[in-house]
Amino acid sequence: MELAHGFPVSAASRKSEYSMKLLIASTTAAVLALGASTPSSADTYADLQAGTLTGALIVQWLEPDVFLFLPDADRPLKFTRSNGDIITPGRMLTDGGSIPRPVWALRNYSPWGYAPAFIVHDWLFHIKQCKLENHADYDLQKAGIVMGEVIKTLMESGTTDKDPFTVNVMVTAVTSIFAQGAWDNGDCIVAPPAFDAAPLMEYVIDFGG
């Protein structure tokens, strides 16, 4: 199978990717439906430490559900955790957040509702699956916490509305036993240096710094 822009993706990789998205999406939907039985969203939110987002987020739309994240040459997107760790996502293919389509209409539950958080989380998955530098520093739980920290950073800075329950939903979904399978068995898919056609659209979000 190939993307419209000439990037080959094996059928096995597509099946694995689809299964991962279905499982995480199902977990998200279950948490939304059974929110009262999940751990306290207030406690989860309070436990997360906000950090600092700087740089520019650049995403090119290649085809439906396929985007290319590009680090800005001069001001790459960076998330600095409260402990001083810095995460700088590199060039990769992404689809934003694995959010079930029926809840896309809800505020902040689109695949790009918390774009920087999803990009940072995708990058941690990518470095693990491709065995890139620092991949051993993160496991599934830590990657999920980092995503929650980025969302909290967006909320505390006023970039998005403060919504502790949403943070709980997202973190619960990406640290579930279903997500563990994707973390352990996901394929390393590397974006090629160039595509056969220009992107359909490019989006840029600047976080200053």
CB distance 40 to 144 below 8 Å? no
pLDDT tens digits along 95-142 = 764 544 433 334 454 446 688 998 999 999 999 999 999 999 999 999
Predicted TM-score (pTM) of this structure: 0.79
The better pLDDT of the pair 46, 192 is held by 46
Give the pair of three-digit tokens for residue 200. 């359909």
pLDDT at 202: 86
The domain limits of the chain are: 11-206
The Cα 174–Cα 186 span in angstroms is 14
The Cα 69–Cα 48 span in angstroms is 26
Q: Hey, is 128 helix, strand or coil?
A: helix
